Structure 1
């Protein structure tokens, strides 16, 4: 039988929201998602939103406690979703090196930038919340989806047995995927399998005489990222791949282009 009152505070009672277990679990998930986002961002140049996966994991774990509430799950997913935001620093710091402002990565200066950036983000979110969220009329599809996931999966009147089973199976899928991915990475590190393969070719003179390449990498992290970003973003990346390696690189490496660039003093 479903406990319909677990997520609703009794009159005069105390609502469980900011608890030690929610903070600890949220911080652990934030560390995991930040590390995953940082690695994936440096590898393929994109990060994924962690609010919904964090909500699913949170509900599956906190269901062990009979007193867990939807507000605790909301706290966990809010803290864990910081992983997607903080990992964006991987695009800022390399940009400072690329434009010549930095020649190295000073550790404490980088830490200070991250801390100040986080404080500014939280500070600006307070006055801008009413303008952008409350009265903005924006759909925020990820936020709406995370709210629906929390409502149907947390303890309370709106939870369903199918959602409970789905949360449990989702947690086991996450654990099994992590174990399989770690095992495969160990096998690749031990050179049992080839992690990636690349082939560079020179085009015939009829096609400009340029060069291009083709690479293939097998990583479970990329499979997971592809599942999270969806078909639309995946097709956009495929179009960018074709545009870069099928058109731009052959044109820029053709002898005629190299000769023209050299004649105009462009390295």
Structure 2
């Protein structure tokens, strides 16, 4: 698989830390010019610093991708900074723990807005630029939670990610005529700061055949493949990256 992204322009959302930071670093290391979009100015600036320190190119926009206006803003900023867009790498997401019986309307609305509705608004805003791009790609971070599994307290998150997979399939059909592929990655348990809410790494790793949590780079390299020329005939698909956790029929096996 080629990792040469020289000259390609990538927008990476949710790139302040964890999986998003790894995605941004991996693509920048391959030569892509990266627009970072994140809610936290401090974490976004750190991602930018790391990329530039390694010799890469990155610009930063701080915003919350919970609205259509924000999606339009970040696409416009990418075009202003780099003059085009080849890769829409949508990783931004939230998963506040809240059991169904106590679920608040604001929690549900914000989860659906950031995790699901932003897929629509970003794609819509990016479409004119992607139609002009060389080997245009849309790759979205989905999850095994929702499409494959469930976790108590995350019904709202599960619903949003199941919706993301439906979006990926339908968008792939609609955008195929422009040569734009649309795919996703479904992470399992990944060692990020956000994962601390679910338990300690040693306990969580017991149910994973490969015996460890995934790393943010595991997801980033899966995205790198789906965005590569070698994946040009793949669209409407999601790639599960979970260390084999979904393979056993019984969790005790």
Q: What TM-score comes out, normalization by structure 1 length?
A: 0.26
More helix by share: 1
Q: What TM-score comes out, normalization by structure 2 length?
A: 0.27
The structure with more radius of gyration: 1
More strand by share: 2
